[in-house]
Structure 1
């Protein structure tokens, strides 16, 4: 599904405002469009007064924040706290680390074990022993109950930015800064792509042991319920160990059983690591991707390595990390009470590959 010009221009505006100045050729490469298309978008944004045009460049109207001097940060660090062995967050960490190091800020990475309640002592020790002046954190929140226990994090007395985690509405963390992928929009991209190809019976195979998984499942249910032209839809677990939340009410049948029972021809799979396994399991059951069904993976960590390469929703994970780091730097520069908390949503993209088939032809 082609991206609308409005969405593309919004992305251009975000890139230009984040970097101050970007060459049109660089914009074209990042957005995957022709230089002519990027130039026309820049011209339109300039015409409506949102950016300034230069010779082959687009310039922001928003003054850039000067980076902190190395002397300011002497003796202090910014702590990065993320769950260990969490492949999805690797690119988020990379984006944050690069942004902090470019600002001459020392970074201390602290992976946390997959044990409930372990993050609190880790953060306490980081603040006490390393004089950390700011905290970037992706809480594990493996179950919904863990997410309820967030008061301790809200009470941390240094600037905190949540990475790839959206605080619950009305929770103690609702007034903290956060930068997160808009997973509702990601699921919307996947559903709309499948429907544009004529698929009306859809299944989501998703995990249930992370905030991303729960957001994806909730979005899928909302989107399908709101579209009367979706004739059938169902949700199953994408992996045997993916049901960490005992309160889940979603089905736990085998994917192949549900697909045959519902006559499903379109499948969304989270995560894409699980997607590669599920595609193989379906092949063993006699169902071939792109012939018998179309699949869209969610995460795009390894989806391109599938056979065939899997169409995938690709969260802008590096951008999430970079924006989170820049938001934290702004708090550290101007003081934690320098303005209202910001909740930044970053739109993912759809990478169309060889795992979807058009039923309309």
Structure 2
């Protein structure tokens, strides 16, 4: 028979009094309720001072109980909030990696979405915190990938640990002191340019989609073309808004016919797939006239001409961000000195397909 909330509270108190402390997951199982319901019960009892709540465990106040077992790890029963601008594109795998990691440790990931509206980030955070989130994994809707005009202020005032995901903050900005996990997109761009160079291309253009990752990809592209002694291409990288295909096609056609360009890095996959048939309509064939490497490797392999692509380690980003958060929660639970903050950068790999020619060599 299902217990009334008051009966359930009395049973919780009885069990905790007898055993000193219990894991939330064990207590929920014994009472036949969900972990979410049990956490609400514990929060209510803790607010009344009748029990103490630790991460993943319930303890009798003052430790006046017999044989209190060692509390569970912080991950057990932890609720972690995650805010992303969308669950499309790279974020689908990032969220999946974070969710699987949290659930494998007995916790729960709760998702909020900002829709690329920066003012929505704190609204989503407030909602998640009100629902019991003990930490936040967040990819803020910072248009350039870094905070501007004080966009980071609310995050610095957040009362729980926060880990930036696929975002950064420049040195000197207070948000630079936050933990963060991201892809080294500059490295990915450099790998792409290096692959072109190995294939004999000397003039390599770049067309990038404006947004959070454009600055990193630009930096890698420019550094690689300079260090490899490639021919500078006027106007590259060209930064375009999503859907500005006519201008992009014209830029690449002119680059091929007037500047001797034989290869191009295109971000993103979707843009590259749209561009290939449009270029062919203008007499520029892929890969015979123009070799292409796409960036993101979401759907690059599904193109009519399968596209060689830079593949960020998306799922691994989510996994490591979640592990870092679980570490921070464990540190809080133990009351010990926290480890130094971490800035983790993961390296993309190149997935070689047909869009640079049949004689492509793998860099992996």
**Structure 2 counterpart of 1:196, from 185, 195, 198:** 198
Instruction: Tell me the secondary structure at the aligned position of residue 140 of structure 2.
Output: coil
**Structure 2 counterpart of 1:97, from 75, 99, 109:** 99
Moved more, 82-91 or 253-262: 253-262
Q: How many residue pairs are counted as aligned between the two chains?
A: 283
1:186 equivalenced with 2:188 (yes/no): yes
Report the CA distance shift for 1:278/1:238 in structure 2 as closer, same or farther (over 3 A): farther
Which residue is equivalent to 1:342? 342
**1:26-73 superposed Cα distances (whole Å, 9 cap, x missing partner):** xxxxxxxxxxxxxxxxxxxxxxxxxxxxxxxxxxxxxxxxxx948975
Retained in 2: the 8 A contact 1:198–1:359?
A: no
Cα offset, 1:263, TM superposition: 1.5
Report the CA distance shift for 1:101/1:145 in structure 2 as closer, same or farther (over 3 A): closer
**Structure 1 counterpart of 2:319, from 299, 318, 322:** 322
**Structure 2 counterpart of 1:305, from 302, 305, 311:** 302
1:86 equivalenced with 2:88 (yes/no): yes
Report the CA distance shift for 1:229/1:348 in structure 2 as closer, same or farther (over 3 A): same
- Tell me the distance in 1 between the aligned counterparts of 2:101 and 2:107: 9
Retained in 1: the 8 A contact 2:98–2:321?
A: yes
Moved more, 320-329 or 76-85: 76-85
Retained in 2: the 8 A contact 1:267–1:294?
A: yes
- Tell me the distance in 2 between the aligned counterparts of 1:161 and 1:289: 41
Moved more, 190-199 or 350-359: 350-359
1:255 equivalenced with 2:252 (yes/no): yes
- Tell me the distance in 2 between the aligned counterparts of 1:131 and 1:355: 48
Which residue is equivalent to 1:354? 354
Gapped regions of structure 1 (runs ≥ 5): 1-67, 244-250
1:267 equivalenced with 2:264 (yes/no): yes
TM-score under structure 1 normalisation? 0.72
Report the CA distance shift for 1:152/1:253 in structure 2 as closer, same or farther (over 3 A): farther
- Tell me the distance in 2 between the aligned counterparts of 1:147 and 1:219: 22
Cα offset, 1:286, TM superposition: 1.1
Cα offset, 1:260, TM superposition: 2.5
| Superposition RMSD in Å | 2.6
Retained in 2: the 8 A contact 1:112–1:122?
A: yes
Q: Which structure 2 residues correspond to residues 116-155 of structure 1 after superposition, within 5 A? A: 116-127=118-129, 129-143=130-144, 146-148=147-149, 149-155=151-157
Which residue is equivalent to 1:164? 166
Cα offset, 1:131, TM superposition: 1.6
Greater Rg over alpha carbons, structure: 2
Instruction: Tell me the secondary structure at the aligned position of residue 206 of structure 1.
Output: strand
Report the CA distance shift for 1:105/1:147 in structure 2 as closer, same or farther (over 3 A): farther
TM-score under structure 2 normalisation? 0.71
- Tell me the distance in 1 between the aligned counterparts of 2:308 and 2:233: 22
Gapped regions of structure 2 (runs ≥ 5): 1-70
Retained in 2: the 8 A contact 1:179–1:320?
A: yes
Cα offset, 1:253, TM superposition: 6.4
Retained in 2: the 8 A contact 1:313–1:351?
A: yes
Which residue is equivalent to 2:220? 219
Cα offset, 1:101, TM superposition: 0.5
- Tell me the distance in 2 between the aligned counterparts of 1:208 and 1:178: 22
Report the CA distance shift for 1:160/1:79 in structure 2 as closer, same or farther (over 3 A): same
Which residue is equivalent to 2:230? 229
